[in-house]
Amino acid sequence: GAGVSQSPSNKVTEKGKDVELRCDPISGHTALYWYRQRLGQGLEFLIYFQGNSAPDKSGLPSDRFSAERTGESVSTLTIQRTQQEDSAVYLCASSLVDAQPQHFGDGTRLSIL
Amino acid sequence: GENVEQHPSTLSVQEGDSAVIKCTYSDSASNYFPWYKQELGKRPQLIIDIRSNVGEKKDQRIAVTLNKTAKHFSLHITETQPEDSAVYFCAASHTGTASKLTFGTGTRLQVTL
């Protein structure tokens, strides 16, 4: 595709529910990243996929967070038993191979009531 | 891990003046330093980047300088325009082994008429 695509663009859910966020990277980009951006703050790294290598999960804040990627395409970020502090914009980025630069999607704005 | 500090947090300049934003990093192995511009509610957009094998890079009104010895890099915007108003983020990574970006906390630049 022309750019990184994320869905949904907005998600409002009740505390305790599970949510799934989707990222479709730029075609041909083998590296995919998830970041979280809380209101008025910088971007925090969550997880990184590169080809068939084991993902770098070092940024996941708790075991309620997980992510999967099918081959070199779509990735889903799952947050289980959501809490209010999970409210943020979740941004996905992709890049060629293991190189830079990273290109970002528009993000999913997650609001936990 | 890497730590990136960014200053100032807010910056107000008059149209036509120059703006300078500074970042420092902690990991001497970092070798890639991008700058992103983020307008309200929009995705981060790469505006310029520099790799550790060069000391300066320029693209029209935007330039970035890198001092590896001191572990700091700066963004320079000349002849500022109202459309330059946004939040700017610096970041650092080590391509090849730790490609995740570590971001600074952002600088809100306001260009006044």
- Which of the residues B94, B101, B107 would you substitute to probe the A interface, choosing the one with the greatest number of A C-beta atoms within 10 Å? B101
From A5, which residue of chain B is nearest by alpha-carbon distance?
B43
Pair type for strands B19-25 and B62-67: unpaired
Residue with structure tokens 């947050």?
Answer: A79
Write out the DSSP string of B49-94.
EEETT-SEEEETTEEEEEETTTTEEEEEE-S--GGG-EEEEEEEEE
Please state, for a pLDDT cut of 90, what percent of chain B lies above it.
87
User: What would you report as the CA-atom Rg of chain A, rounded to the nearest whole angstrom?
Assistant: 13
**Mean pLDDT confidence for B64-86:** 97
* Residue B98 φ/ψ, nearest 5 degrees: -150, 75
Q: What is the pLDDT of residues A12-34, one digit of tens each?
A: 999 999 999 999 999 989 899 99
Contact B96, B12 (CB under 8 A): no
What percent of chain B shows pLDDT beyond 70?
97
Confidence check: pLDDT of B95 > 80: no
Q: For an interface test with B, give the residue of A10, A45, A56 to mutate (most B CBs within 10 A).
A: A45
